[in-house]
């Protein structure tokens, strides 16, 4: 492993944001109670994107169908909140691979300060932050995202 690209993830707890972050709490609510529904998913997906115009009917339906897959419902419905989250922070300095962390400034699923921590802890880390962007940087800024990743992986 020589290069790693990470997008709005949470390999360690944030310092400045509540944990779990808002988006993770919303996923738990989506599966709890009455379970998944299109109405609950619309609310959830509206927080993933900065620009809601990227949430087309086709994308919405694709995400809904994936969310109601029996294995997904089993995993998130019964185990959400019970799955221990491993804090990889103490181990990150050992990563020998180059790291590119990509974040949306308005990401409500991956706290921005986690990306900053990653970049500081990994010896060969760099970070790119997209403004006017939520959790789906690869969608909301597709062309620039693809260029960044391909350039990083190609060097």
Nearest to 138 by CA among 147, 52, 22: 147
141 is catalytic: no
Residue length of the chain? 155
| Paired strand residues for 129 | 103
Residue 4, H or E segment: strand 3-7
Q: Is 46 helix (H, G, I), strand (E, B) or coil?
A: helix
Q: Which residue has the tokens 């180059």?
A: 98
- Tell me, letter by letter, the H, E, C secondary structure of 68-113: CCHHHHHHHHHHCCCCCCCCCHHHHHHCCCEEEEEEECCCCCCCHH
CB 102 within 8 A of CB 148: yes
Q: Of the listed 93, 128, 135, 141, which one is catalytic?
A: 135
Q: Which residues are catalytic?
A: 135
């Amino acid at each position: 492993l020589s290069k790693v690209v990470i997008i709005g993830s949470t390999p360690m707890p944030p310092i400045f944001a509540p944990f779990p972050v808002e988006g993770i709490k919303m996923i738990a609510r989506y599966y709890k109670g009455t379970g998944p529904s299109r109405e609950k998913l619309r609310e959830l997906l509206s927080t993933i994107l900065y620009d809601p115009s990227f949430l087309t009917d086709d994308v919405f339906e694709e995400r809904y169908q994936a969310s109601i897959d029996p294995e997904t419902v089993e995993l998130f419905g019964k185990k959400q909140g019970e799955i221990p989250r491993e804090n990889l922070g103490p181990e990150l300095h050992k990563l020998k691979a180059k790291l590119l962390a990509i974040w949306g400034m308005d990401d409500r699923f991956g706290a921005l300060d986690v990306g900053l921590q990653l970049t500081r802890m990994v010896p060969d880390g760099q970070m790119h932050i997209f403004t006017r962007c939520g959790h789906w940087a690869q969608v909301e800024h597709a062309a620039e995202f693809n260029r960044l990743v391909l350039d990083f992986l190609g060097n």
